[in-house]
Structure 1
Amino acid sequence: MFHLSNLIDRQRGHLFPWSPVLLGIGIGVYFTVKSEPTGATLISLLLVALVVGLVARRLPPAAQVCVAGLVLIALGFTLAAWRAQVVAAPTLSFRYYGPVEGRIVDIDRSQSDAVRLTLDRVVLDNIRPARTPSKVRVSLHGTQGHHTPEVGQIVIMTGHLSPPSGPVEPGGFDFQRMAWFKGIGAVGYTRTPVLLWKSETTGGIGLAITRLRLDISKEVQAILPGSAGAFAAAITTGDRSGMDTATLEDLRASNLAHLLAISGLHMGLLTGFVFAAIRYGLVLIPSIALRAPVKKIGAAGALIAGAAYLALSGGNVATERAFVMVSTMLLAVLADRRAITLRAVALAALIALTLRPETLMGPGFQMSFAATIALVAVFGWMRDTDWSNSRWPWLLRVVFGVAASSAVAGIATAPIAAAHFNQIPHYGLLANIVSVPVMGAIVMPAAVLAAVLWPIGLHWIGLKLMEPAIVWILKVADLVAHLPGALSHIWSPSPAVLPLLALGFLWIVLWQGRARGLGGLSVLLAGVLWHSTPRPDLIVNETGSLIGVMTSEGRHVSKSRGDSFAAMSWLENDGDPVKQALAFGRNGFQTHERRHVIQLNDTTIFHATGKIAGAQAIADCGKAEFVVVNIKADQSTQAGCTVFDLVSLRRSGALALYRQGDVLRWETARARQGARPWSQ
């Protein structure tokens, strides 16, 4: 106990930044457990935390700190559970085809580049309102153009809807969970024209802001046509519907996609420019500079500008998180405190996690806070150790600042990006060095100028000023993305890897003393686990219509087209994102029309699609250990082998088969998810 007290004493003044870490551990535990905690369990947990917290007041300081940590973990767990219940909404439980009516609340694009509408006030044929999803998302295919959708309109269509799908493989990205927290109860598509049923309806300030945002986006793209206009609309209003797939891929491959997302960089550049403009503008007026707190006035003005930017950009999670971080620092300026410290970042993280605990599991939260913590820690260390570059020439200082910032942020976020997106851009530092200064010095100031001039109709001046800079950024992205070896790919890690990486990184940054180096052991362990993470030898999608078998040359999929989302997700998770047609041409199993025979060790597996081929595969059940079909199987025909049919697959979700020596181990997506509200 004495040794523990000494350790805790050395951390005095540095304990607060651990608060969001401990809260996050509790949130992470909630999303990891396999069953939903009951209300009684949560109430008991809170009561125990309260009692223990009160009793701890009489304990030694070291024990108080330990108890406070446990209380924060319990609070994080309870907070996440409470949030999951607050956002609960009806979810479609079957496949629906028929008339769909709803009010447009958002317009964006799907991965296939189709226009996509998010509808609320949904009406479905012969479905009671209590069972109707509060929101649905519909992609527009087929012949459209009879009507131009706009936010606020009530539209009708004939659509195919289905419940949000589960992970495409056990442990894969959980779209059901994401849809649950967004309130989306069904997704689908229509091939019939979308028709206007009622014109714009009143929907409160939120819908009015969304309409304003999309109107601004249209105006920006009218003045700046092409990719430059789409980029400008994305960074000013958050509307990416004009961005084409090729440009997005170039930005991702060059590690410049973060310039498109309205997040910490944009909010920091905008508020920083407004803060500097107001502060130094007032300094030029002696009567004001000598009497007024110009620094605080600048901070207040920047705070208002950030709030306006948050509203006009759509208020998505990334922008909301960026605003919380920036406003925390600006409020520190108003309170005469140092703005950029780990305590300020910790406070911002606490607020962000309290508002939306589910964001902890997403790449946006992880990457933005990883980059911010790394930048604050590294530049704070440089300041504290008097590692100053103030004697360098101005241009060299600027270049060093951009290069160091890009390198630090890139190193901090690279493992997270690789884990979530399975790719590593090798020339991202180069692309950022030549693009970020242009973004900060030209694009964002020009955007502020356009906003200031908008009321008098001269906004085109600011937009035209930013156009050459945006064209430069897009050309850099295109050039860097197509350099030889610009991008490499990596397989998905096991679930324990990112938590170990995060805890090791945070320990190195936050812990005081020689034990700081222990964080490196956690990072090393994460690397070993990642390297040893196996990929499934066989994957089956949740309808049984697609399989993928691992071979020496990569995964062999059973279709050259169709079920493309599952196929591409498997290949990306393998670290081998080739075209589906190429993966189909590999040699991993025998194929005869719509039947496939897979041989793993001494185990034979039949896979068949369609009624005739499926029935024949089931009839031949005795010749194989397992049969996978995408039809409903008669229970009486399943003797002699294990049959995975449409019904059982819908219960279990996607399947994965692993070879462990001579033993084959099956794993299901539903077992990995557990019995959670979003997976019922």
Structure 2
Amino acid sequence: MIAHMVSDVPQEKGREPGDAALQRPWRKAVELSSVLASANEFLATRGFERVPWLAIALGSGISLWFFLGQPWQWGATIALAMLCAASAHYCWREKQGREYLSVAITGIGIAIAMGVALIWARSELVGADPLSRPAVVTIDGRVLGREDQPALDRTRLTLAYRDADGGAPRKVRVNVPTSAMLDDIEDGARISLRARLIPPSPPLLPGSYNFARTAWFSGLAATGSLIGEIELVEASPPDRWNLSQLQRALSQHVRHQLDGAPGAIAATFASGDRSAIGAGDEVAMRDAGLTHLLSISGLHVSAVMAAAYLLLIRLLSLWPWLALRVRLPLVATGIAAGAGVGYTLLTGAQVPTVRSCAAALLVLGAMALGREPLSLRIVAVAAVCVMLLWPETVVGPSFQMSFAAVVAIVALHRSVPVQRFMAPREEGVIRRSGRRITMLLITGLVIEIALMPIVLLHFHRAGIYGAIANVFAIPLVTFVSMPLIAAALLFDIFGLGAPFWWLAGRSLDLLLAIAHFTAEQPGAVRLMPQMGAMTFALFLVGGLWLALWQGRVRLYGLVPAAAGTIALLATPTPDLLITSDGRQVGIVGEGDRLLLLRDSKSAFLRDNLLEMAGTEGEPLPLDRWPGARCSREFCTVTLRRGERDWHLLLARGRTLVAERALAAACARSDIVIADRWLPRSCKPRWIKADRRLLSRTGGLTIDLKTGTVTTVAQSQGAHGWWPQSRR
């Protein structure tokens, strides 16, 4: 009957009954199976590499734990990820046309769940509850670490002791003036002292550096400073293999051979000790985009391993008997690996150095096995190793910057246009050198572009001319300064290192000249306000898509990157910056200078406020601004934003005032800010940011045009380092 009814329908001449659906595809519902088949075909034909994507999924799980604030959300994320993995595995594992998709969803789901569980367990195992309040305590404990900081005229001691009240073990960090420091205090010594301790500070403002989180994963309960003198109760046990003492001795030896700033930088390259670098040189290196040269990382470890490998392979090849019987690359690789591990241990074995050493060892292993030495798979394996050991580093700038730079370099050199440009050909020395210099400049530019979102997220500033400075600075350090320092140390054994030290000093003078010249150029540094998490996620997705895919499909990564750029440029600068204690208030938008409630001597506080305001130059105290009326106790300010005036009342002093007068002043104000508890009779028209509110929210930023209030507490949740999570 159905066939008969169809046959009775009038047909257009020359058209079959099914042609209408073919001519009008928008009327045909898209089947889920066709979408899945297309996704599977995409993965099968676009060079899908599993290891890098699994590393990204593991890092995404770790990042989700930091982003999500509550334990039930962490558990739900693990359950949902495992459910997706199990569903993909059991439903699609035997279906034709979905093999790649099944493997991808299964692996990514397991990796995300593993990432959340890994960082959750890490937090519970190593996290240390901070001190509840500032206190003066007597410490009788062991020295876990000693860090000399001659540039700051102090020594930083990490101590372990038991609390006198409850007997709970604590790990604290105490700053000791150089004049009060005893030479006999080394790792393992038992000392007695009095110190003023304070809990690790949470972010000063939304988006600022979170020292409380860093201290939590370091096991630090408090930091403080010495009161009085130190008593040595028990000397450290003799230890011939004390790497900390060896590191300090090497640093002192280098600084003795080279005076001033070159000696401080040479000590950094030789031992990883950057504590003697002056503040001016550090700022110049940072603004010139050369700070990475001062952190012992991939560049330095790779240079040491490469030098050891090339030197050994040349020397061993001079012995014909050995060259005919042993695979020299294997021997040279093993010794170079040992040199890299030794250099890593000597320079303090910090997380960035260990990460770089692990990646370099994988490269050496690939070379020894005859595999491609530089690939995204090797980078991903190194990243997974670091995340398994230190998952908390995923949200830190060191991890993000180092791996972003390496991924950018590998992806750039894997691209077809670059491979064609760098392919060997018959040409003269000048043309060949020109191509290499051009490629070096392009590589530096790509690295700067890749690192800029990370730098803006964490430091709210970015160097504009860093790519050009690195073109000259990286070859100078890699091929001149570090080999000269190594030769000087070697010839110091025979007392003949002076000429090499002189040459090394001149090369480091040139490095500092490049840094200062670059940093002093107009527009060398660009300050930006806080970058939102979603904006950074757009840059991250776009960058990873560009790096991990091949062919034209990788260009789709430009879409989220462009959206992130637009979102970043559209991010408004907050009008008010209120610190977590309420003692400092920054006002933005009244001229080119940042207005501060109090004239602070703290460089850390001033720099944080300037970065969050996106403003350069010296801040102006509010009582010197013509638009403010200030007394000893309060300042009143009227700000014009949008279509209305905002009236602010800001507390300055600690003297008690009449409650009735305060209540009347509050009633005339839209916003009241104070570093103390205000009575309930103080009722402004909008916000009362006193000690009661700020103790719950932490620092605040306020955008008056949109009425948006952003707090530190919004990004902390129930994580252990946030004080409110323990109340």
TM above 0.5, one fold? yes
Quick one: distance in 1 between partners of 2:602 and 2:281? Answer: 24
Deviation at 1:147, TM superposition (A): 3.7
Matched, 1:24 2:24: no
Mapped contact 1:107–1:241 kept (Cα < 8 A): no
Secondary structure of 1:656's aligned partner? strand
Deviations, residues 115-136 of structure 1 (Å, cap 9, x unaligned): 3513221356x44332x532x2
Mapped contact 1:551–1:587 kept (Cα < 8 A): no
Q: In the alignment, which of 376, 379, 383 is matched to residue 345 of structure 1?
A: 379
- The letter of the residue matching 2:170 is P
Q: 2:563 corresponds to which residue?
A: 525
Matched, 1:330 2:364: yes
Q: 1:484 and 1:628, CA in 2 relative to 1: closer, same or farther beyond 3 A?
A: closer
The two structures have a TM-score, normalised by structure 1, of 0.90
Q: In the alignment, which of 347, 365, 373 is matched to residue 407 of structure 2?
A: 373
Quick one: distance in 1 between partners of 2:105 and 2:74? Answer: 26
Q: 1:674 and 1:437, CA in 2 relative to 1: closer, same or farther beyond 3 A?
A: same
Alignment of 1:242-641 (within 5 A): 242-381=276-415, 384-385=419-420, 387-388=422-423, 390=425, 391-393=427-429, 395-396=433-434, 399-450=437-488, 452=490, 463-553=501-591, 554-562=593-601, 564-581=603-620, 585-586=624-625, 589-599=628-638, 601=644, 603-612=646-655, 618-620=662-664, 621-634=666-679, 637-638=681-682
- The letter of the residue matching 2:710 is E
Mapped contact 2:297–2:356 kept (Cα < 8 A): yes
Mapped contact 2:55–2:383 kept (Cα < 8 A): yes
Higher mean displacement: 284-293 or 256-265 = 284-293
Deviations, residues 53-86 of structure 1 (Å, cap 9, x unaligned): 7636445312222222222222222222122122
Q: Considering only aligned residues, what root-mean-square deviation do their CA atoms show, in Å?
A: 3.1
Q: 1:133 corresponds to which residue?
A: 170
Deviation at 1:453, TM superposition (A): 5.2
Deviation at 1:111, TM superposition (A): 13
- The letter of the residue matching 1:483 is Q
Quick one: distance in 1 between partners of 2:184 and 2:458? Answer: 33
Ranges in structure 2 where 5+ consecutive residues have no aligned partner: 1-35
Deviation at 1:386, TM superposition (A): 6.1
Deviations, residues 231-279 of structure 1 (Å, cap 9, x unaligned): 1111221111111101111111222221111011111111111111112
Deviations, residues 419-475 of structure 1 (Å, cap 9, x unaligned): 322333233233222222221122222343355556666666654552222222122
Quick one: distance in 2 between partners of 1:588 and 1:643? Answer: 22
Q: 1:195 corresponds to which residue?
A: 230
Q: 1:656 corresponds to which residue?
A: 701
Deviation at 1:604, TM superposition (A): 3.4
Q: 2:196 corresponds to which residue?
A: 160
Higher mean displacement: 670-679 or 416-425 = 416-425
Deviation at 1:42, TM superposition (A): 8.0
Q: 1:35 corresponds to which residue?
A: 70
Quick one: distance in 1 between partners of 2:683 and 2:512? Answer: 60
Deviation at 1:43, TM superposition (A): 7.5
Deviations, residues 520-547 of structure 1 (Å, cap 9, x unaligned): 0110111011111122222221111111
Mapped contact 1:568–1:580 kept (Cα < 8 A): no
Higher mean displacement: 390-399 or 299-308 = 390-399
Quick one: distance in 1 between partners of 2:186 and 2:627? Answer: 48
Q: In the alignment, which of 667, 671, 677 is matched to residue 714 of structure 2?
A: 671
Q: In the alignment, which of 72, 78, 82 is matched to residue 111 of structure 2?
A: 72
Mapped contact 1:568–1:577 kept (Cα < 8 A): no
Q: In the alignment, which of 181, 188, 201 is matched to residue 217 of structure 2?
A: 181
Deviation at 1:32, TM superposition (A): 0.5
Quick one: distance in 1 between partners of 2:141 and 2:88? Answer: 49
Deviation at 1:478, TM superposition (A): 2.3
Quick one: distance in 1 between partners of 2:324 and 2:658? Answer: 88
Higher mean displacement: 449-458 or 88-97 = 449-458
Deviation at 1:603, TM superposition (A): 4.7
Equivalences, count: 671
Mapped contact 1:561–1:581 kept (Cα < 8 A): no
Quick one: distance in 2 between partners of 1:640 and 1:476? Answer: 53
Deviations, residues 3-53 of structure 1 (Å, cap 9, x unaligned): 112111113453332221121111111110122358966875686577557
Quick one: distance in 2 between partners of 1:414 and 1:666? Answer: 27
Q: 1:49 and 1:665, CA in 2 relative to 1: closer, same or farther beyond 3 A?
A: closer
Deviation at 1:615, TM superposition (A): 6.5
Quick one: distance in 1 between partners of 2:64 and 2:627? Answer: 39
- The letter of the residue matching 2:466 is G
Deviations, residues 496-536 of structure 1 (Å, cap 9, x unaligned): 22221121011012123433222101101110111111222
Mapped contact 1:539–1:656 kept (Cα < 8 A): yes
Quick one: distance in 2 between partners of 1:114 and 1:259? Answer: 24
Deviation at 1:392, TM superposition (A): 4.4
Deviations, residues 190-229 of structure 1 (Å, cap 9, x unaligned): 4x454242354249899x2112111211111112121111
Higher mean displacement: 622-631 or 519-528 = 622-631
Deviations, residues 610-662 of structure 1 (Å, cap 9, x unaligned): 3325766754443334432222345x54567764333442232112222244x
Secondary structure of 2:349's aligned partner? coil
Deviations, residues 358-415 of structure 1 (Å, cap 9, x unaligned): 1111121111111111111222225643642553416545534543432332232233
Secondary structure of 1:411's aligned partner? helix
- The letter of the residue matching 1:312 is L
Higher mean displacement: 333-342 or 405-414 = 405-414
Quick one: distance in 2 between partners of 1:109 and 1:487? Answer: 31
Q: 2:13 corresponds to which residue?
A: none
Quick one: distance in 1 between partners of 2:277 and 2:714? Answer: 38
Mapped contact 1:608–1:614 kept (Cα < 8 A): no
Mapped contact 2:157–2:176 kept (Cα < 8 A): no
Mapped contact 2:89–2:106 kept (Cα < 8 A): no
Higher mean displacement: 235-244 or 387-396 = 387-396
Mapped contact 2:671–2:684 kept (Cα < 8 A): no
Higher Rg: 2
Q: 1:281 and 1:85, CA in 2 relative to 1: closer, same or farther beyond 3 A?
A: same
Alignment of 1:112-127 (within 5 A): 113=152, 115-122=154-161, 126-127=164-165
Quick one: distance in 1 between partners of 2:234 and 2:307? Answer: 40
Identity score, percent: 25
Higher mean displacement: 560-569 or 385-394 = 385-394
Mapped contact 1:30–1:80 kept (Cα < 8 A): yes
Q: 1:139 and 1:507, CA in 2 relative to 1: closer, same or farther beyond 3 A?
A: same
Q: 1:646 and 1:148, CA in 2 relative to 1: closer, same or farther beyond 3 A?
A: farther
Secondary structure of 2:159's aligned partner? strand
Mapped contact 1:453–1:459 kept (Cα < 8 A): yes
Q: 2:5 corresponds to which residue?
A: none
Matched, 1:8 2:43: yes
Matched, 1:92 2:131: yes
Quick one: distance in 1 between partners of 2:364 and 2:440? Answer: 22
Deviation at 1:327, TM superposition (A): 1.1
Q: 1:649 and 1:386, CA in 2 relative to 1: closer, same or farther beyond 3 A?
A: closer
Quick one: distance in 2 between partners of 1:660 and 1:118? Answer: 47
